[in-house]
Amino acid sequence: MKNLLTIGLVISNLIAFSQKPNIIFIFSDDHTSQAISAYGSKIAKTPNIDRIAKAGAILHNNVVSNSICGPSRATLLTGKFSHMNGYKVNEKVFNIDQAVFPEALQKNGYQTAWVGKMHLGGLPHGFDFLNVLPGQGHYYNPDFINQKNEKIQYEGYVSDLITKFSKEWLEQRDKSKPFFMVVGHKATHREWFPDVQDLGSYDDVNFPLPANFYDSYDGRPAARDQDMTVDKTMVLASDLKVNANYNSPAFKRFTPAQKTAYYDYYQNKVTKDFESKQLTGKALVEWKFQRYMRDYLSTARSLDRNIGELLDYLDQTGLAKNTVVIYASDQGFYLGEHGWFDKRFIYEESLKTPFLIKYPGTIKAGTQVRQVVSNVDWAPTLLDIAGVEPTTGMQGKSFFSLLKNPKKSWDNNAYYHYYEYPQPHRVAPHFGLRTEQFTLAKFYGPQDSWELYDIKKDPQNMKNLYGDKAYAAIIQNLKATLKEKMIEHQDTEALELLEKEPK
Ligand code: SGN
Ligand code: CA
């Protein structure tokens, strides 16, 4: 009798688990929507990322709550804002003693894994399998840290190795259980080292300068004070490999063949071209911009190709039918807009992050989602997809219903708070609100200024409307909502600053 009951329980569990979808969360680094063709990019082709959008949904207004790597990842895991999960700036270590949503998935029968870039400073609980890059990781012949905390170096290009290890785990996992896997990519993080086969792939392209490349930053003192311009901050040797230091730690990892390929391209071609031109002033900045775009987009080629390889694998093994695939980046990035690279600001290019999702049979192919959602909503959404209740203290809200019905009305108010200052890019801390139409922000610390943008009229965030009397009522309303959000999300530090403001 007891045996029969046990068999019955096993069978019912198997049925329940087999109905649960698998979830693969492909998570890149600094890969922005301006570089994704599904988002309308004219300068890049990402046929494989686009496959996800074609088969499912693309989110046009998925913002992050703190536009920087480690904090974005901590928010993914906890469903909490930085001030609640404690991970406000990159160089801190994520407190692994807090609840993370993969633990809830495990309790509900899921197998969980994270492969590739993680960047949390410590290995969190909630994963049955880990094989992650230490810190920022390396593009060539990188080390990986496994579950036993052993560091092992592998030969190859990072995006290929991440795909290989992801597929290997899919092969050897416990196939009686549904799974959740993060495929964390290093691409397209600075210093943009393309795979050897992609060197020179954009050499024939002349990239148009963004209209605001020569931004004067009028009316935006925090934007003026940053240190992230292509002109002054981007380094010719380390970023653009002009007379690169082939004895640097990154190059020391190269095999002789990899080094020869890089030397042939960057020294014999790029550096030679640079030195023959003797550029100064605008011509020099614009040359740097062209090289930046070429390196960034060439690095993205391998990322997209590897996503294609993983999607093909899912198709070939039949896993695709019951597997949700998400593609997202930890934040957006500047591709020359405002004259910049990097992220951090509440302005559109770095506030928004790509998010594409396919779920065969549940999310309609070609779905366009325009409502404002945030990365704080990711954890509750993923749990919702798995049919699991949100864990206590989660601050985000599931947007699964929106993916199924993109016409649904929505609270389009996303809260933002960025902290890291002054290193590495001197962006003043700020908090703010992004609604369907407006962005309101307050810069503090070394700055003391408010900014308001009408996103519909000014998606480039060029005209600060804060002082404009015509917007006084709008500002008052937005400030009231901002305060409500601070209270709701318990950002007491920001609330104190807001309370000190003249009324
Ligand atoms: C490094 C980069 C910065 C970048 C941060 C954070 N400098 O410090 O440009 O902003 O990482 O990036 S580098 O010369 O070392 O590449 S993040 O993606 O981890 O947030
Ligand atoms: Ca990042």
Residue, of 283 and 18, whose pLDDT is higher: 283
What are the CA-CA distances from residue 186 to residues 71, 118, 191 (Å)? 16, 9, 11
- C-alpha Rg value of the chain to the nearest Å: 23
Ligand 1 centre distance from Cα of residue 344 (Å) = 11
Name beta bridge partners: 179.
111
Nearest ligand to the C-alpha atom of residue 137: 1
CA 68 to chain centre: 8
- In this prediction, residues 364-370 reach a mean pLDDT of 98
Instruction: Give dist(CA 138, CA 196) in Å, integer.
Output: 15
What is the secondary structure of 32-54 as a DSSP string?
A: -GGG-GGGT-SS---HHHHHHHH
**Whether pLDDT at 239 is above 80:** yes
- The residue among 304, 302, 294 whose CA lies nearest residue 50 is 304
- In this prediction, residues 69-96 reach a mean pLDDT of 95
**Whether pLDDT at 17 is above 50:** no
* Model pTM score: 0.96
Give me the pLDDT at residue 92, please.
82
Three-state secondary structure readout of 205-228: CCCCCCCCCCCCCCCCHHHHHCCC
In the chain, the percentage of residues whose pLDDT exceeds 90 is 94
Instruction: Give dist(CA 202, CA 12) in Å, integer.
Output: 54
**Whether pLDDT at 8 is above 70:** no
Residue, of 91 and 370, whose pLDDT is higher: 370
- pLDDT tens digits, 180-212: 999 999 999 999 999 999 999 999 999 999 999
Pocket test residue of 90, 139, 427 for ligand 1, highest count of atoms within 8 A of CB: 90
Number of H helices, E strands in the chain: 16, 16
Q: What is the DSSP code (8-state) at residue 352?
A: B
Q: Residue 355: exposed, middle, or buried by beta-carbon count in 10 A (0-12, 13-18, 19+)?
A: buried
- In this prediction, residues 163-190 reach a mean pLDDT of 98
Pocket test residue of 136, 188, 240, 423 for ligand 1, highest count of atoms within 8 A of CB: 136
**Whether pLDDT at 10 is above 80:** no
Both tokens of 120, joined, read: 């949390």
Both tokens of 359, joined, read: 């779920």
Q: Is the CB of 420 under 6 A from ligand 1?
A: no
Give the domains, in start order, of the chain with CATH numbers.
21-193+300-413 (3.40.720.10), 218-291 (no CATH), 430-499 (3.30.1120.10)
Give me the pLDDT at residue 435, please.
98
User: Predicted confidence band at 503 (pLDDT cuts at 50, 70, 90)?
Assistant: confident
Ligand 1: residue whose CA is nearest its atom 2? 190
CA 411 to chain centre: 23
Instruction: Give dist(CA 256, CA 252) in Å, integer.
Output: 10
Q: Is the CB of 68 under 6 A from ligand 1?
A: yes
